[in-house]
């Protein structure tokens, strides 16, 4: 009886191992099916149909993207340099230089690039005539004496406050 029970025990262990192997085999098959489905998605639309061909296409596309990015960076640097030289800072101050005329028809306009190089225009409006003066500016300074209004316009250009009008359109006193 001991031999018979040992045989049954060995038989039971063998069946248990076989069942474990069948479960492991089914689990591995399921994983392989999922992997094959992923590979089919990768190979979809590929002429040669091999994973090497797909990887080759992806590497080529990545190289093209790197080259395009390098070209864009070069162009951005060129545009950035060009932008620094453009007149981009503007400051405007309107004022009344003469007490006998009404309204703030005179103005000082400062226009500079990023380095503060440009010009200041000043228009003095009177009853019978209007005069326009232009003064060059280098590094936010002018070799010519600037009036209070011209200095205020240049400061507005420097700080980015373009217009001297308030929210309601009131004139800003300088």
Between 48 and 151, name the one with better pLDDT: 151
116 backbone dihedrals φ, ψ, rounded to 5°: 85, 20
Claim to verify: residue 94 and residue 142 sit in the same structural domain: yes
DSSP string, 5-40: HHHHHHHHHHHHHHHHHHHHHHHHHHHHHHHHHHHH
Nearest to 133 by CA among 158, 161, 151, 108: 108
Strand order in the sheet with 89-95: 89-95, 106-112, 118-125, 130-137
101 backbone dihedrals φ, ψ, rounded to 5°: -115, 150
Average pLDDT estimate for 66-75: 96
DSSP 145: -
Q: Does 137 map to a domain?
A: yes
pLDDT at 112: 94
Q: Does 4 map to a domain?
A: yes
Whose tokens are 């999922």? That residue is 34
pLDDT at 171: 45
Claim to verify: residue 113 and residue 155 sit in the same structural domain: yes
Contact 124, 107 (CB under 8 A): no
What is the C-alpha to C-alpha distance for residues 74 and 87, in angstroms, rounded to an integer? Answer: 22
Claim to verify: residue 110 and residue 147 sit in the same structural domain: yes
pLDDT at 120: 97
User: Where do the H-state alpha helices sit in 85-169?
Assistant: 148-159
What is the C-alpha to C-alpha distance for residues 125 and 131, in angstroms, rounded to an integer? Answer: 7
pLDDT at 46: 65
DSSP 121: E
Residue 163: which pLDDT band, with cuts at 50, 70 and 90?
low
Domain that includes residue 153, residue range: 89-159
Nearest to 113 by CA among 92, 138, 94, 132: 138
What pTM was computed for the model? Answer: 0.53
How does pLDDT run across 12-70, given as a tens digit for each residue? Answer: 999 999 999 999 999 999 999 999 888 877 777 666 656 777 778 888 999 999 999 99
Contact 109, 152 (CB under 8 A): no
Tell me how many domains the chain contains.
3
pLDDT of 174 strictly over 50: no
Claim to verify: residue 153 and residue 103 sit in the same structural domain: yes
């Amino acid at each position: 009886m001991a031999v018979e029970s040992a045989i049954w025990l060995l038989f039971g262990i063998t069946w248990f191992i076989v069942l474990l192997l069948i479960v492991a085999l089914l689990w591995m098959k399921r994983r392989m099916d999922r992997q094959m489905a992923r590979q089919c998605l990768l190979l979809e639309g590929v002429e040669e149909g091999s994973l090497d061909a797909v990887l080759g296409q992806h590497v080529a596309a990545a190289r093209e993207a790197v080259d395009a990015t390098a070209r864009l960076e070069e162009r951005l640097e060129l545009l950035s340099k060009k932008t620094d030289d453009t007149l981009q800072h503007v400051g405007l101050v309107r004022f009344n230089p003469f007490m006998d005329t009404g309204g703030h028809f005179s103005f000082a306009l400062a226009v500079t690039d990023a380095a503060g190089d440009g010009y200041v225009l000043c228009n003095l409006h009177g009853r019978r005539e209007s005069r326009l003066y232009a003064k060059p500016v280098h590094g936010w300074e002018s070799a010519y004496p600037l009036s209070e209004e011209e200095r205020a316009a240049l400061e507005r250009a420097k700080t980015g406050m373009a217009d001297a009008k308030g929210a309601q359109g009131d004139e800003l006193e300088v």
